[in-house]
Structure 1
Amino acid sequence: MNDPLLDRAQLAIEESQALQKTKLALQAEQLHRREALRLSVMENAMYRTEIKAYREDRD
């Protein structure tokens, strides 16, 4: 028969490892989303600059 304290400690270790994996996955997802957002902001600024230049050329 296993020691209940040892079983609880083992369970806590396993849960901690699972939480660490989840944390790493969420950090990777956050990094990906941040990069996508930065790209979108940059593209938006480029399009706005192009539209402004087009309007200035038209006038």
Structure 2
Amino acid sequence: MLTEKAVRAAASKGKAYKLAGSRGLRLHVSPSGHKSWRYKYRFEKKERLLTFGACP
């Protein structure tokens, strides 16, 4: 489970990376420092990715 402190502390690196939350919810951090919430799920045997938006 991600805490607010961990989300705020996530800094950009050379490559994009993800911080795992729970049940498929992840925080995606791009090399430029942009943070967005993404949800990975399966529908009709296909993997899908839904982006909710920027993290303040």
For this structure pair, what is the TM-score category when the shorter chain's length is used for normalisation? under 0.3
As a proportion of its length, which structure holds more strand? 2
Q: TM-score, normalised by structure 1?
A: 0.18
As a proportion of its length, which structure holds more helix? 1
The structure having more radius of gyration, on CA atoms, is 1
- More relative contact order in 1 or in 2 (CA 8 Å, sep 6+)? 2
